[in-house]
Structure 1
Amino acid sequence: MAQKITALKVQSRNPQRVNVYLDGEFAFGLSRLVAVWLQEGQELNEEKIADLKAEDAHEVAYQRALNLIVRRMRSGAKIQENLRRHGISEEIIASVVERLERSGMIDDKLFAQAWVENRSEFRPRSKRALAYELRQRGIADEVIDHVLAETMPDEAGLAYQAALKYSRKLNQLDWFEFRRKLSGHLARRGFSYDIVIAVVDRVWAELRSNVPSGNNLTDSEVLP
């Protein structure tokens, strides 16, 4: 049985949504993008109402995902995870993600590239540590391998950058304490034992050129 639209009212708390009144009574709310073609006097049957509600559910999910991406770049897996937490169906999630991928708003390769570049510049860490972080964000192994092979700078250079930044806090320490703290810092960022030894010696030599650096770190001194 068809019902007539008797009023369309923009919600006071959310001007992006419209309340739909059928036969003089409130029936449901819709996104303005979904309600844009409706008008008072129009008749809606049950099938049309169901279609409008389904379209609205998709649009709400899409706008939520879009808002997440606008705030900061995210992987497809993290978008899906957020939508699930808000009770959105798997069917709608799949449709929203596909729509965002088609428009280029979700691109796991670009996300991984940006992640590696940002980390390398501001918080340098090893290839192993970066791969772990990207897996935690739902990036597929084949994408990770490709991006790291294509984008990853020299690990020794990254370790040196990380060591230089951290060594500013250690400037007043003696060699043994300096070595212990800096090697632990680098190890926690995933750098290998050999790289840690070389970088710690290099940074110490640059800071204290008149003090023998030594290079006899043990595994227990390097590992955090």
Structure 2
Amino acid sequence: MARTQRSGSWRRRDPEPDAERDLGPEPDHEAVARKILLDRLAEQPRSRAELAAQLARRNVPDEIAEQMLDRFEAVGLVDDEEFAQLWVRSRQQTRGLAGRALALELRRKGIDDEIVRDTIDTIDPESEEAAARAVVRKKLRAMRNVDEQVKIRRLVGALGRKGYGPGLAYRIVREEVGAAEDPFDADDWDDDA
């Protein structure tokens, strides 16, 4: 490869294009697809649609991609139902998301609507409420010197963004804000004691 000097710096000059240049053997698309699938699944569980999109981005022919995905599904490495259940448990615990938000995320991941409905139906209302309370309690710690109405508005908004309905969000926020009030408030003391 030749070098040329341009504007006081050295720059590589590409060789002349050769129309007859050998591009090498055709890649083994099946081996490429297998490696992509195994690499992606080793990182974290993924939905079939996510894996199919990854194969398409890497120019694996659709026919081979479907064949490989079917094979991975047959041996249990790709399972949208199991993926959905793992996703819901994880996101509910780590992010405190409600069923509506989780359903939206699963649909974005390419999970079939029937699987989404079945998975969301398994969410225990009590655990969903507990997750909402945990979100509120965590945020309340940072709001000690904030006006009560502002607290309520911010907390209800935070729960709304996590997919909780307004009725549940407002009830939980009122209960948690009430429980977080100072137990030694002057109004609570009994003068007859």
TM-score, normalized by length of structure 1? 0.67
State the partner residue of 2:64.
Answer: 92
Q: Do the aligned partners of residues 83 and 27 (structure 1) sit closer, same or farther apart at CA in structure 2, a change above 3 Å counting?
A: closer
Secondary structure at the residue paired with 2:39? helix
Q: Structure 1 counterpart of 2:53, which letter?
A: E
Residue 82 (structure 1) aligns with? 54
Distance apart, 1:177 and its partner CA: 1.4
**Residue by residue, what CA displacement relative to the aligned partner does 1:118-165 show, whole Å, maximum 9, x if unpaired?**
112111121111100100000001111111222444332222122122
Aligned to 1:106: 78
Task: Find the counterpart in structure 2 of residue 5 from structure 1.
Answer: none
Task: After TM superposition, list the pairs within 5 Å mapping 1:51-200 onto structure 2.
Answer: 56-154=28-126, 155-200=128-173
Give the partner amino acid of 1:178: K
Residue deviations 1:20-71 (CA, integer Å, cap 9, x gap): xxxxxx9956xxxxxxxxxxxxxxxxxxxxxxx67x2101111111101101
Q: Structure 1 runs of 4+ off > 4 angstroms? A: 26-29
Larger RCO of the pair (alpha carbons < 8 Å, separation 6+): 2
Identity %: 29
Give the letter aligned to residue 191 of structure 1: Y
Question: Which structure: greater strand fraction?
Answer: 1
> What are the Cα deviations for residues 177-216 of structure 1, in whole angstroms up to 9, with x where unaligned?
11121111011111111111111111111211567xxxxx
Give the distance between the partners of 1:116 and 1:165, measured in 2 at CA.
21
Structure 1 unaligned segments of length 5 or more: list them: 1-25, 30-52, 212-224
CA distance in 2 between counterparts of 1:151 and 1:177 reads: 31
- Unaligned stretches of 5+ residues in structure 2: 1-21, 186-193
Q: 1:173 to 1:119 in 2, by over 3 A?
A: same
Matched-pair contact (CA < 8 Å) for 1:120–1:153: no
